Amino acid sequence: MLSSLAAQIKADNTALFDAALQHPFVQGIGNGSLPKAYFARWIVQDWLYLQAYLHTLQQACHLAPDPSARRFWQDLVRLTQEEELDLHRGLAAKFGLSQTDLDNAMPYSATTEYVNTLQSANGNYAGIVATLTPCAVGYADIAQHLQAQDTCTDPDYRAWIDTYTDAAFKNAVAQFEAEIDYCGQNEQDRAVIQHAYTTAAQCEVNFWQSLWLGQ
């Protein structure tokens, strides 16, 4: 038996995390073969997702059960604004995309689905934590695997891998999982967590597929 709810629920969703890792879009980042036009889709669609993500982080700040958790969410807002969105801005500039282009882009179907999933969790702390966690866990695992393969020489794709293997991002993932364990002490919240987590993990897979198809 695994030692924590976070570890158990991650194991329960192994098939979804593996599907994301093995997706041709992700593997194309890892080996440098992904067409740049496809990667531009990620820049735009993830930018749109992150706007809703930031709003949900702010909801988590408001609902946090103690000052320590509140500081974590506040730090994550800063990390997202100052580091993750900076990655997107820098890459967008290289691809000839302005912030206006990003803000006014049309969301793909999976982006809309994911944003709606985030919004549906607002107001429930356990649901918010569980909905946010698979994205962080999935990106950290993907980046770790791609870094270990060490087959990518493309600087844009290396920047992506480096962002999600950064120590600050890894620390954030550990805190996400600690919050899962905290919320899971309440039996009623465990059911909420399990459903929300799996829904969000499926959204991750759908997001990669939508980027691959360009729709």
Give the residue numbers spanning the domain of 47: 5-213
Banded pLDDT at 1 (limits 50, 70, 90): low
Mean pLDDT of 191-198: 96
In the predicted structure, residue 168 carries a pLDDT above the cut 90:
no
More confident residue, 163 or 207: 207
pLDDT at residue number 83? 85
Task: Note the pLDDT tens digit of each residue in 63-101.
Answer: 999 999 999 999 999 989 988 898 899 999 999 999 999
pLDDT at residue number 154? 94
Task: Note the pLDDT tens digit of each residue in 8-55.
Answer: 999 999 999 999 999 999 999 999 999 999 999 999 999 999 999 999
Task: Note the pLDDT tens digit of each residue in 118-160.
Answer: 999 999 999 999 999 999 999 999 999 999 999 999 999 999 9
Structure tokens of 147? 């870094």
> Rounded to whole angstroms, how far apart are CA atoms 92 and 62?
31
Cβ atoms of 69 and 183 closer than 8 Å: no
pLDDT at residue number 26? 98
pLDDT at residue number 203? 98
Q: What is the CATH number of the domain that holds 11?
A: 1.20.910.10
Structure tokens of 96? 């000839």
Which residues have a Cβ under 8 Å from the Cβ of 73 and sit 6 or more positions away? 57, 58, 60, 61, 64
As a dihedral over the C-alpha atoms of residue 38, residue 102, residue 144, residue 119, rounded to 10 degrees, the angle is -120
> Rounded to whole angstroms, how far apart are CA atoms 52 and 7?
26
pLDDT at residue number 151? 92
Structure tokens of 160? 């992506």
Task: Note the pLDDT tens digit of each residue in 41-50.
Answer: 999 999 999 9
> Rounded to whole angstroms, how far apart are CA atoms 101 and 92?
9
Structure tokens of 182? 């905290």
As a dihedral over the C-alpha atoms of residue 73, residue 74, residue 77, residue 80, rounded to 10 degrees, the angle is -80
> Rounded to whole angstroms, how far apart are CA atoms 36 and 32?
9
Mean pLDDT of 208-213: 98
Number of domain units in the chain: 1
Structure tokens of 140? 């950290």
> What are the two backbone dihedrals, phi and then psi, of residue 191, each rounded to the nearest 5 degrees?
-65, -40
In the predicted structure, residue 2 carries a pLDDT above the cut 80:
no
> Rounded to whole angstroms, how far apart are CA atoms 167 and 189?
30
pLDDT at residue number 114? 98
Residue type, 205: V
H or E element at residue 97:
none
